[in-house]
Amino acid sequence: MIHFERIDSTNSYVLKNIDELEDGEIVIADSQTGGHGRFGREWVSRCTGNLYLTFVLKPHSYLYAANLTQYLSVVLVTVLKEYSVSANIKWPNDVLAGGGKIAGILCESSVFGGGIKGLALGIGVNLNMSGDDLCRISQKAASLNLLTGRQVNKMEFAEILSTEFFRHYSDFMETGFCFIRSEYEKYSNFLGGQIFVSDGGERFQYYAESLNDDGSLRVVDAEDCVKNLFSADIEL
Ligand code: BTN
């Protein structure tokens, strides 16, 4: 494990150093100055009690790489259960607990020519925050310590998370979304309900019907037109 006190971003570090880093390496930072999330958003990473971790992955096949964030969201829900916290997944990979977002997951790839050199699969988990810290985050957030009523040992959490991640990683990379489908559906909080999707300044409403075999979301609009969403930020 590579541990930094402070770095711009564990994902960026992995992408910059992908040639030297080994498959399966884990990079952790106590704080990040350039933590980022999906759609180029900032991931505020000042709280040293929280987890900022990136897995270095160089699989034989990248066929199911797009579903790795969904796999990691299921892994996290499993780990949170060990802390007696029940969590949900909001498509594609937001993990929610106690009514707020407790973690964010972002997978970035290092590309060369027509190929991929490796992946930086990053996760930020709110483990030890104060109520005031939480209020400063723009969207409704949650932190594990506030849900369990006790401080969380960050390195112990990182150990449990990575063990759980690698337990079924190879099986998942051979099978894809179907491998986690039933668990993912069980933890989903959006299926069978109305969702909102913002796109190009407009807000659309759909019925979230089902998940396709590739992890994309099948939705139906008010005119009964079916659409498949591959990437979006949904609101419930
Ligand atoms: C999101 O919800 O938009 C994803 C947030 C991902 C944050 C993690 S923290 C560790 C890693 N380093 C980053 O800069 N981002 C990811």
State the Cα angle at 212 between 209 and 218, rounded to 5°: 35
Q: Binning pLDDT at 50, 70 and 90, where does residue 199 land?
A: confident
What's the gap in Å between 224 CA and the centre of ligand 1? 36
In this predicted structure, what is the pLDDT of residue 200? 76
d(CA 129, CA 136): 11
Task: Answer for the pair 204, 221: CB distance below 8 angstroms, yes or no.
Answer: yes
Take residue 15 and report the two structure tokens written for it. 């992408």
Average per-residue pLDDT for the chain: 95
Pairing label, strands 26-32, 2-7: parallel
Question: Smallest Cα–Cα separation from 145: which of 161, 134, 129, 165?
Answer: 129
pLDDT tens-digit readout, 93-104? 999 999 999 999
- Side-chain-side CA neighbours of residue 188 (13 Å): 23
In this predicted structure, what is the pLDDT of residue 137? 85
Take residue 53 and report the two structure tokens written for it. 């971790």
What's the gap in Å between 124 CA and the centre of ligand 1? 5
Pocket test for ligand 1, best of 36, 50, 125 (most atoms within 8 A of CB): 36
- For atom 3 of ligand 1, the residue with the nearest CA is 37
- pLDDT exceeds 80 at position 211: yes
Q: Binning pLDDT at 50, 70 and 90, where does residue 177 land?
A: very high
CA 10 to ligand 1: nearest atom: 12
What is the Cα Rg of the chain in Å?
17
